[in-house]
Amino acid sequence: MALSFAYSHNHCFYLSVKHLFLSAAVAAALLLPLMGHTPAAGDSPQLAAMFEKYWDERARLFPLEATSQGDNRYNDQLPNDGTVASRTAQRQFFQQYLEALQKFDRSKLSAGDQVSYDIFRYEMQMRLEGLKQNTWMMPFTQFSGLPISLAQLGAGTGNQPFKTTQDYDNWLGRVRSFPVWADTAISNMRRGMLTGVVLPRPLVEKMLPQLQALVAADPTKSIFYGPVAKFPAGVPATEQPRLAAAYQQAIREQVVPTYQKLHDFLQNEYLPKARTTTGISAVPGGADMYRYAVKFWTTTDRTPEQIYQTGLSEVQRIRGEMEKIKAEVGFQGDLPAFFTYLNTDPKFMPFKTPEQVLDVYRGIQAKIDPNLKKMFGRVPKTGFEVRQTEAFRAASAAAQYNRGLPDGSRPGIFYVPIVDATRYNVTRGMESLFLHEAIPGHHYQIALQQENTALPKFRRFAFYSAFSEGWALYAESLGKELGLYTDPYQRMGALNGEMHRAIRLVVDVGMHSKNMTREQAIQYMKDNRAIGDQEATAEIERYMAWPGQALAYKTGQMHIIGLRGKYQKQLGTKFRLSDFHDELLANAAMPLAIAEKTMDSWAARQK
């Protein structure tokens, strides 16, 4: 995966009460005209007004999310969200809107408003349930949280704008609050140390060098000095010396001491108390935390055990398909030997330049275009580009999609990290990767959703991992119908990608509710797919830091495949795949049970 909303997945489980769906382009939405939105007949203006008010107010509550989507009203703010007062304010906010919603008689609403009502109620209830979890005692990890996202914002290459003098002053205001945030984080982690709600030791060991790397003795060498090193035309020359001095002072007095303080606390106090166990169930209340995480990320009521059994079954099925391809190409060794061959044989690394790699992806787009028109009646207006990931982050980045803006000012971008083109391996599944991250995966789903101005903003800019990642993984299964997967090695690449998502069901549940160790999980992954030690370790530690999130992909994919099969059977000759796809994407990302309900209504109309 790596779906990016230009915020690099900073919504970890430990911050999940704030990130069930992305704080989406409040500004994009507010700065764009409403594009003549006319409510459908029977829609309630009062309900629409409540949704609009909610969307506007939540930007103030979550200013970092607002910034990530272009709402610049709160760019100078960094809330101290680890405090009791902050959690109380969130609880009151979501409770207030849940009660406001319940004043509407659902039975008297239009069909479209009933769907919005159901999603909004689900959202408020899940957020309130999330606020009961003790995850505030683990405020950041090696994978995500403010210390990482602040560096991404402050580098000047992310979502924080640095175009005008006001933008530069806004950042100074925001970063001024970082020391207070860090003090609260340390206080909360000390609470965790007393109660046993602490992170696993291997994760803390990874956090130490990350924090130390942000401690620069010379402010001008800090990543946070990036915006000052190259001022844009919008900042007058007369302002530049003042800002340069202010940034050096902020780095010297606020940024560097705070990162050093966090590092020293983790090394001296926290690391000795970090747990040797792997899964979240080992901490007090951990079993409930995991049950919530599973529900949160899959949007279903499936139990961890059900998901685990599905994972075992899918791993066996996909292994069988891999064995068939191994036989088809005449490889004589066993499956692990085949994996090694795919990873290392020079013929699978034919590239000399990054542009050659990008041209293959562009060629995939051209190849699928004729068949796409048969499978989708609606296509996005938002532009689309394939780009190489910037050099400064390529080594640690996965391929990813960055959403565009519906006004056309920013295209959807499929970023491909290419550290060394001569080592770029075609068997990693270039065709399936393009279908997932680009077209018709994330680009179609997200762009069509954002462009649908008939939806309230909280639905236009919603993100439910099970739906969005499930759709993208489902898109990989369309390869053959789109004219791809004619080469057995590309089919193997697609299977390797699907296997990765199936393994996640086994190891995530295994670690967090079945006492599977980190080492056992790493070995299980290596036994069942082509992956190296370093990558497997990073993946497993990601699931340790982010319980439940990795379950979303396969859960969503299998649900969408199940819906397609159900309606093909029900409708027979009346089933049209393009209509199914258009309807599913027009309704936007939502919890899977609500998605099925809306699609059942669609199927009934087709009859």
Where does a domain end: 516, 533, 553?
A: 553
- Can you give the pLDDT at residue 390? 77
- Can you give the pLDDT at residue 40? 52
Q: SS3 of 413, please?
A: strand
356 shares its domain with 324? yes
CB within 8 Å of 443: residues ≥ 6 apart? 380, 382, 384, 401, 412, 414
For helices 178-195 and 256-265, the axis angle rounded to 10 degrees is 10
d(CA 297, CA 550): 8
d(CA 175, CA 353): 39
- Can you give the pLDDT at residue 3? 52
Where does a domain end: 242, 274, 306?
A: 274
- Can you give the pLDDT at residue 391? 75
Residues of the chain with pLDDT under 70: 1-42, 392-393, 396
548 shares its domain with 421? yes
520 shares its domain with 487? yes
Domain ranges, residue 177: 139-196+201-274
pTM, full prediction? 0.89
378 shares its domain with 499? yes
If one counts the domains in the chain, the total is 2
Where does a domain end: 505, 520, 553?
A: 553
- The predicted-structure confidence for 567-584, as pLDDT tens digits, reads as follows 999 999 999 999 999 999
The answer to whether position 166 is within a domain reads yes
The answer to whether position 580 is within a domain reads no
252 shares its domain with 320? no
261 shares its domain with 319? no
Helix (H) or strand (E) holding 503: helix 488-513
207 shares its domain with 348? no
- Can you give the pLDDT at residue 16? 33
Q: Please tell me the number of Cα atoms within 13 Å of 586 on its side-chain side.
A: 14
256 shares its domain with 373? no
247 shares its domain with 380? no
Buried b (16+ CB within 10 A) or exposed e, 523-539: ebbbebbbbeeeebbbb
- Can you give the pLDDT at residue 9? 31
